[in-house]
Each structure stands twice: as structure tokens, then as C-alpha cells.
Structure 1
Amino acid sequence: MTTFLQLHLLTAYPPSNPNRDDQGRPKQATVGGAPRLRLSSQSIKRALRVSEPFRQGLAGHMGQRTKLMAKVLLDRLLAGGMDAAQARTKAEEIAKVFGKIEPQDKKRPEAVQGTTLAFISPDERAFALDLADKALAGEALPTDKELARTVLRTADGAVDIAMFGRMLADNPDFNRDAAVQISHAITTHRAQAEDDYFTAVDDLQRREDTGGAHLGEHGFGSGVYYLYACVNCDLLVENLGGDKELAARGLRSLVRAIATATPSGKQNSHAHHPRAGYVRAEIGGAAPRDLTGAFFTPVRGDDLFDASARALERTAADIDRAYGPAADAVETMDVPKGQGTLAAIEDFAASALERQNA
């Protein structure tokens, strides 16, 4: 039976614009016929990956998303003294295991990069650089199929790749299924973007020169956001080659990051650094279920945060009564009520690995 760790979080954001749409305004969604503010799952996963809990807790076990691996290899070959044209050919030949290479740009002939972002583990980067060193030594590169098997891995120590998965269109045998699913975060109540018109004054203008030197505008919004995450603990361990200790570090880092990290759009303008005020963690073997339904009808009242927390708990109880328990164990942190700690949630999350096949 698969063990799932499910996380439900409520976080109050001040006026801010952490995740913008193509117009530069806060992203939005309509839920239950009501307008809501939204944070995309992509922006949240990015915030998790670059957060201090991930960078410090998982140092040496983080992948890189980049189009520029061919440039890294080219620089290595050029530094080793290889002819520029040959170096480019070799760099592209190795880097293509991560995806197709852009045609050479006549305006920027020195530029070399892939067509898509590739998620590359530390081991794969090291294997690719090792092939570059062997090319410098005069060794022939492996054939295409052997090249992929030489560089790519289906399991290694890159925790973020193990969690969030990857797709390599040209080498699908080395794709990774994501062990962690992250929802789009939505406000639990009605919320719409507002507009801020602002001016800037020229420091050197004369006193008699009135008016601003610059006029601009940007959107912002605020609200209580609900975020859901689901971890397939068995798949996480499998993706890490059976390393349960590293998987536990990953779960601890995930919990701390998801409660404290945020997309950083317009952060200098708004200084938004919110922390989750409510966290519900669940461990069990039943099919996962999110609790977004608690907010399909927007919450109302003078205390939107408390109303959101109580709606979430009621919905969890209602679903459990109708379908049976969704979890074998539950741990909560409710900051306004002075209940629980994030450290306890971390310990609880890590214990999910001890419950596997128990």
C-alpha cells in the first residue's frame, strides 16, 4: 500500500503581487463563481527550490534547471585548449542528451544553448563534464544510445528532481515521475486585484517645479490562501534510489519551505514575507484528496483566517464521515490558537517513511 503525506496550509498575504500574469497583475481564478487571487503551482515550486530550507537542508542534492549545459561544456573544452569549432561540436554532441540544441545564431555565434529547460542532477552534470575531459584527452564519445546511458540516470541524489519530476522528450527512458504534487494556491474568500498608481519625484528638481517626474501603476492584492501538497512517499524513496535518510531530509525541508517560502514577485515593493498560520499534515494509505471544496463557497466574516481554518476542518471531517478516514494520523499547527509547532510537523512528515509497509 502506498503511503501518502498530505499537507494543507493557510497563509495570510499582505497587499502584494508575488505571482504576476502577462499584464503584470496578480494572477486570478474563478472558483465557485467568485473571483479569487491565485499563486501558480509553478511559482510555488520555484520558491521552494530556491528557499533556504532547500538550499541548506539539501546542499549537494539539488538539480539545476537550465538551457546552458552546452555552454558549460563548451567553456570546459575551450579552457582545456580544444579548437573552438571542434569544442562546439563536442559540447553540442554531449549536451543533446538533455534536449535539442538551438541552431547557431549568426548574430551571436559564440552562444550555444538548448531549446528547453532541462532538469539536471549533480551526478549527470559530473558525468557530462567527465565526457568533456575524455574528449580533451582524445577519446571518442559514445554513440547516442550509449551516451544517454553514460550521462543520464533514473534515480540519484537530486531531491528536487525526485520530488517535482522531469521530462526529457528525446530520452523518455530517463523521465522522472513527480513524487510531490503542488496545487495552485487560491484565496479562500472573494478577492480581486487592485491598482496602485504611484509617482516618483526628481531629487534635483527646483522647489517651484511641482509634480512628479514619473507616473506608474501596478496591481496588488491580499488575502488568505489555501495551498495543498501531496507526497507519494514510496515514489520519493524510489526516485532517490532507496535512500530513506535523504528522503526524510527532503520531507523536512519541504515542510519548512512550504510554510515559509513565497514567490518573490514585487517583493521589494511590498516586503511580503508571510508564514503559514495553519498547517494540517496527514499520513495514510487512502487515496489522496484535497480540501479545496471547503472554499467553493467563499468564506465570510470579520475573521477570514479563523473562518477558513474552521471550514477546512469541517470539510475534512465531512469527507472522512462519508468516505472513511483519509489518513491514519494527523498533526496540526494553528498559530492563532497557539497549537502545535512547525518542528512537530517536520518530525511528523519524516515519520511517514517509518510507516511505509508497516
Structure 2
Amino acid sequence: MSKHNFVNFHVLISHSPSCLNRDDMNMQKTAIFGGETRVRISSQSLKRAFRTSDYYLGQFSKSQRTRRLLDDLAAKLGEEATDEPQKAAIEQCALFAAAIFEGKTKPKEIAEYKRAPSGHIETQILPFSQSEITALRQLLLDAAGQSEKARPDFLRDAIRTMEREQRGYVDLDVALSGRMANSELIYPVDGALAVAHAITSHAVEPQDIDWFTAVDDLTTEEGESGAGHLNTQQFSAGVFYRYASLNLRQLQVNMGLIEGIKAEETEDSRKRALEIAAHVLHLMATVVPTAKQQSFAAHNLADFAIVSLAHQPVSLANAFERPIERARNGGFLDQSIAALSDYWQRIGKAYGLEEQACAFATQADCTLGDQSALASLPEVKQWLVNDGAN
């Protein structure tokens, strides 16, 4: 039997009162599921929290997601330029390179590319890996040494070569989340990690409203009320279901561990992918978006998680299609854990899914099928690294 190619992560986190993700109206993000309103945390919010977390930055390098990389490189290289002609050449080469990243391939189109109305040299927003940034910096210097007429063709060919050589050297956040590209010369990356929007396992309606003021110390001392600012903020509490699925083979391709999606994985390449999967589990269980945390401090960790090695991605969100009801003695967590475990067993039996699974729980006596949940997250991470072997 072939080895399982997917790791499915199912995580339950009970968040205290908070507003972890807002829309353009400053309202909590929500979703209708099972006919009831749930509080929602978008996948974009979760992924950004993951890649900017202290845990991630302590383990891996992070890409720079920006429209203005070439603008930044031109400014820095311009400061280092030995004379004005070299500075002007670097500026021109940065504009030409931006045109190429925007999908321009004809010399005339490249030569006519201008700064954006903002005054910056801009492209589509892209995650640039650190090795790519280093290579692009040198490429601009090399191009500046060419004649003005030769620069468009030189940059087009050099960027094509650079991008081809950069495959397999992407930063982990790019390997996980992927990237889209406008230009055929710029290599796209198919993300290895699919992350769902997190939703509460139960209905949350209506959400609470915090009416708050900012007190003006000086006016207070003069005997006035001291309210220098008045506003409201939506917030709520709930048990959130987080789901993500990691394609191990795609991750190995993106990290340059194997040559293509159909290539045979090696013992070392699979081991490295599973080590990264263990880090993803840690992020899923511990990292919380930073929005409004100074006001609410909802720094909650996961109470329960199921991790499975599987032949396909399988979400367990339908465990909560019928919203969890509050327990007689209060709370939604125990019923959410029971519903998730039960649904995992039912869906596995119904479809004959040949998953290897392991559960983690902070409370005693939690089970997954006929096995007890492990009591520590490091144990589950090690189970993953060991490819499902205890």
C-alpha cells in the first residue's frame, strides 16, 4: 500500500471574549453554517498569524510579501551608487524588472513601464523568498552595467534564468501557501497547505458590543468627564474549529526535495516533509491572530486536536453542521470534542478511509475510537515525525 500523502489537522480552540478578525466595517467576521450564524476567522488571517509568529520566525526564514520590492532595491542600491549615471541606470533597470514581473515581455512594453501613481515602482503583490531577493539585487547591478538598449532583453532573459534556478529554494511560507504570478517568466508555486476559515462549533448570535471610551487625563483634572473618544467594538467568545490539509508530496516538490509531483519520494525527503508537518501542527494549535489582543488578550491554546495521515483531504466541519448546544452546566467544549471524535469515526467507517490518526487533549479521558488521546502536543508531533508510528 502506498504511503499516505496528506496530513489532516483538526483543532478545537476555545477563545475567551475577543475580536480576532474584522471586516471593512470593523465588524466581526461571521458565516452562516447549518442555518446559524458562526463567528469566523479567515484563512488569510490565520496564515499571516502563522508566518509572522515568533515560533515560525525562530525556525524558518520568511518571504517578503510586497508590491514594492524593486522600489526598495532601487532606493538602497541608488544610495550605494558611485555616481549619478549608475544611480539612473539602477532606477531604469528596476522599472524594467517591474515590467517583466507584471507580465511584459516585448522590449517596447518593458522600456515604457512607468512608476505607479503612488510614485513607487510597483508590481503585483508577491511573496519573494530571501534567496530570490538576494539574486534579484545582484541582477539589477549586472543589468545596470549593460547598455541602455540591451537592458530590456538582458533583464528578461536573466529573470527567466533566475526564476528557473530559484525553484526549490522558496521560503517555507511560500512552499505552504503558494504564490500566483502574472508573468509567464515568473514561476508560480502550488501551495502545499490548504487552510479553512475557522468557525465556531456553535451558533453565536447576537454578538456582544463593547462601548468604550478613551479618557483625557487633562480634561479630567479640570473636572470634566474626561471622555476624549467614544466608540463601540463587537466581540464574542466561542469554540473554534480549525482545519487544514498538508499535501506532503507537493511540499517536497516546493522545497526542492524531489523533482516533480510524480517523482518518487525518498526516505529523507518524506522525513523532512513530516518534520515540517509537525511544525504546522504546532502553529495550528498555538498561534492566534493578533487583532485586538491588547484589548482582549485571548491568548488561548488548543484543547483538542486530531491529526491524521490520509490518502485524501477530509474536513470534519460537518460535525458542527448542527450547532453544538450549550451543556446543562455551561460550556460548548466537551460537546464539541465528543462531536468531532464521533464524526471522525462515522465518516471513516462510511467511506472506508484508511487513515492513521492520533489525538491530543488537555483534559483526561478523551478518546478517539479505541485509543486514548495523548496528553502532550510534543508526543503528537513526534508521532507525525515518525510517520504514524508510536
Give me the TM-score of the superposition, normalised by structure 1: 0.89
What secondary structure, in the 3-state scheme, does the structure 1 residue paired with 2:353 have?
coil
Indicate whether 1:56 and 2:70 are aligned: no
Indicate whether 1:342 and 2:377 are aligned: yes
Aligned to 2:90: 87
* Contact persistence 2:139–2:158 (CA under 8 A): no
How many residue pairs get aligned? The number is 347
Indicate whether 1:121 and 2:129 are aligned: yes
Residues 203-260 of structure 1 deviation map (CA, whole Å, 9 limit, x = unaligned): 1224642362321111111100001110111110111111736534422321111111
Distance 1:229 1:122 in 2: 26
Residues 138-188 of structure 1 deviation map (CA, whole Å, 9 limit, x = unaligned): 576525244222245332241111111111121376111111100000000
Shift of 1:29: 0.4
Distance 2:384 2:181 in 1: 30
Counterparts in 2 of 1:166 and 1:172: CA distance versus 1, 3 Å:
farther
Indicate whether 1:242 and 2:253 are aligned: no
Aligned to 1:201: 215
The residue type equivalent to 2:159 in the other structure is: L
Q: Equivalences for 1:224-303 in 2 at 5 Å?
A: 224-242=239-257, 244=269, 246-285=272-311, 287-300=312-325, 301=327, 302-303=330-331
The residue type equivalent to 1:113 in the other structure is: E
Distance 2:157 2:146 in 1: 20
Distance 1:227 1:333 in 2: 14
* Contact persistence 2:31–2:37 (CA under 8 A): yes
Counterparts in 2 of 1:97 and 1:55: CA distance versus 1, 3 Å:
farther
Bigger relative contact order (CA 8 A; separation at least 6): 1
Distance 1:49 1:136 in 2: 34
What secondary structure, in the 3-state scheme, does the structure 1 residue paired with 2:309 have?
strand
Identity of aligned residues (%): 27
Aligned to 2:110: none
Give me the TM-score of the superposition, normalised by structure 2: 0.82
Counterparts in 2 of 1:105 and 1:303: CA distance versus 1, 3 Å:
closer
Distance 1:29 1:179 in 2: 25
The residue type equivalent to 1:316 in the other structure is: W
Counterparts in 2 of 1:95 and 1:353: CA distance versus 1, 3 Å:
farther
Aligned to 2:386: 351
Distance 1:157 1:112 in 2: 23
Q: Equivalences for 1:1-150 in 2 at 5 Å?
A: 1=2, 3-58=5-60, 60=61, 62-78=62-78, 79-81=80-82, 82-83=84-85, 84-99=87-102, 103-104=114-115, 109=119, 111-114=120-123, 116-138=124-146, 141=151, 142-150=154-162
* Contact persistence 2:248–2:274 (CA under 8 A): no
Counterparts in 2 of 1:212 and 1:173: CA distance versus 1, 3 Å:
closer
What secondary structure, in the 3-state scheme, does the structure 1 residue paired with 2:386 have?
helix
Shift of 1:136: 4.6
* Contact persistence 1:97–1:148 (CA under 8 A): no
Which residue of 213, 217, 221 corresponds with 2:232? 217
The residue type equivalent to 2:209 in the other structure is: D
Aligned to 1:306: 334
Counterparts in 2 of 1:77 and 1:208: CA distance versus 1, 3 Å:
closer
Distance 2:185 2:199 in 1: 33
The residue type equivalent to 1:258 in the other structure is: M
Distance 2:56 2:199 in 1: 24
Aligned to 2:107: none
Aligned to 2:174: 161
What secondary structure, in the 3-state scheme, does the structure 1 residue paired with 2:314 have?
coil
Aligned to 1:332: 359
What secondary structure, in the 3-state scheme, does the structure 1 residue paired with 2:127 have?
strand
Distance 1:226 1:105 in 2: 42
Distance 1:175 1:211 in 2: 55
Residues 265-304 of structure 1 deviation map (CA, whole Å, 9 limit, x = unaligned): 111111121111111100122x221100100000012231
Q: Which runs of 5+ in 1 are unaligned?
A: none
Shift of 1:80: 2.2
Q: Which runs of 5+ in 2 are unaligned?
A: 105-112, 259-268, 366-373
Aligned to 2:265: none
* Contact persistence 1:260–1:274 (CA under 8 A): yes
Counterparts in 2 of 1:85 and 1:293: CA distance versus 1, 3 Å:
same
Shift of 1:137: 4.4
Distance 1:31 1:216 in 2: 30
